[in-house]
Amino acid sequence: MSEASTRPLGMTGEAREISASPSVVRQAIRNWLPYVFGFFSLFFVWHAVSTYVVASVLFPPPYAVLLRFIELLQDGVLLENVGASLHRIVIGFILGSLIGIPIGLVIGSFPLARKILEPWTESLRFIPSVAMITIAVIWFGIGEGSKIFLIIYTTVFIVILNTAAGVGAISANKIRAAQALGASSTQIFFLVALPATVPYILTGMRIAMANSFTTIVAAELVAANSGLGVMLWQGRMYMQIGDIFVALVSLCILGFAADRLFRFGVSRFAGRYDVST
């Protein structure tokens, strides 16, 4: 009997790949088309308002901003400033998350620790990071330390509160079920409490990431030699309106990309935890 006759009826693997590829393309289109439409509508409204409603040199249309964007990109100025801001955000965000997660777990797990640490978290978190800029510059100077400190400051309290809320939201039935099965306190923490808290931790980190972008711009406006905040400040000082809008658009793109990358990382490495809302 020939090899062809021994194959089972139906499509071969290659045929199934070929037939599946159009569905993959259609799924990709369905996933990305709303984003494309959203960005297109944003720039369309911007063009309409800047051309037909405002029509002022102080509100340039998207095409003029795009030309200036390309110029700054070719000069290397934009990449230098974007790199400086992202470097500070990444370091401060990671350190702030690493500090906030264990503190939040302790506050949520131990009533005594909550009573001791809540006065710290509930009072300090109401001091905005912008108000801490002067203190940061006095303590750490105008170098990288002051900007990273401010990112840590704006990140840590959000992560602490969300983590503690996640621990408090764990169903008591889960704890009792683990205890009935003979789980120790350590096993309950690592196998029950911590996994149930992960969605809250990730949500807190996602919110803190957005606040990090806001904080870094404010910090760079006051004390920095490079960064998107410096671009905004210099644009204001020298009335370079195009540079101001390039910095604003860069923040929009970077923020959107960072949020999508964060969600992709969660879906890739912790897919059962949904932070898409």
Does residue 175 fall inside a structural domain? no
Tell the residue number behind the tokens 């806001």, with chain if given. Answer: 214
Q: Is the pTM of this model over 0.85?
A: no
DSSP class per residue in 180-209: HTT--HHHHIIIIIHHHHHHHHHHHHHHHH
Domain count, the chain: 1
Does residue 34 fall inside a structural domain? no
Does residue 27 fall inside a structural domain? no
Over residues 215-268, the pLDDT tens digits come to: 888 888 877 788 899 999 999 888 899 999 999 999 999 998 888 888 888 777
Tens digit of pLDDT at every position of the chain (277 positions): 444 444 444 445 444 444 445 677 777 777 778 878 887 888 899 989 998 888 888 899 999 999 999 999 999 999 999 999 999 999 999 999 999 999 999 898 888 888 898 888 888 889 888 888 889 888 888 788 889 999 999 999 999 999 999 888 888 788 888 888 888 877 887 888 888 888 889 889 989 998 999 888 888 887 778 889 999 999 988 889 999 999 999 999 999 888 888 888 877 766 565 555 5
For 88, 128, 257, the CA distances from 154, given in Å and listed in that order, are 13, 8, 20
Does residue 185 fall inside a structural domain? no
Amino acid at 50: S
State which residues form the domain around 99.
64-170+197-269
244: closest CA among 233, 254, 252?
A: 233
Q: Give me the phi and psi of 193, to 5 degrees please.
A: -65, -50
Does residue 13 fall inside a structural domain? no
Does residue 14 fall inside a structural domain? no
Token digits for 131? 């108000």
Does residue 9 fall inside a structural domain? no
DSSP class per residue in 58-125: TS--HHHHHHHHHHHHHHTHHHHHHHHHHHHHHHHHHHHHHHHHHHHHHHHH-HHHHHHHHHHHHHHT
Domain of 263: which CATH number? Answer: 1.10.3720.10
Does residue 224 fall inside a structural domain? yes
